[in-house]
Structure 1
Amino acid sequence: MATDYDAPRKTEEDVSEDSIEELKNRRNDKNSGKVDEDETEAAESFELPGADLSHEELTVRVLPRQADEFTCASCFLVRHRSQLAEERNGQMYCVDCAG
């Protein structure tokens, strides 16, 4: 934050008066900052560790293998052909696993 050194300076008395007024204003404004929120709706969006998710469904769309991809025989990650380091006995290995 830039400081304006040409601005008139306040005395300690002015500062204490300003701060008292600011505190009064903050006390009055304390409730104005609250947001009306439905607590039930907010609680439903949280997922707790160990929660029972057996009623939830998961939808996954599996794409077919692309011509420029391979699956590493070591880490089993699908990688782009540019990540292919070597091929041994018909098995492809990525640059991270080839060593």
Structure 2
Amino acid sequence: MATDYDAPRNNDEDKEAESLEALQANRGSSAQSSSVDIEDGDTAEGIDLPGADLSGEELLIQVIPPQDDEFTCASCFLVRHRSQIALEKNGLAYCNECEG
């Protein structure tokens, strides 16, 4: 919706004209429905619960170990390039974002 910034502003009198009852009536007429959109494919079978036995599952992605020019941040545990090392302390490396 376009706004006309040159139009005169509403006065305090206009704000007082809107009573609490009028505001509640407007809110009630434009209330959102409480229904939830559920797709047909959404079932309990598609949800993995914590502690579930996943020993029979296979990875769908290839896991690549950290390369020689990468490190794992001791704070956020993300694998980052060596150029992002901000601090090395007690054999642990910390990235720029965690130390920044």
Q: What's the TM-score once normalised by structure 1's chain length?
A: 0.44
Structure with greater Cα Rg: 1
**Is the helix fraction higher in 1 or 2?**
1
Q: What's the TM-score once normalised by structure 2's chain length?
A: 0.43
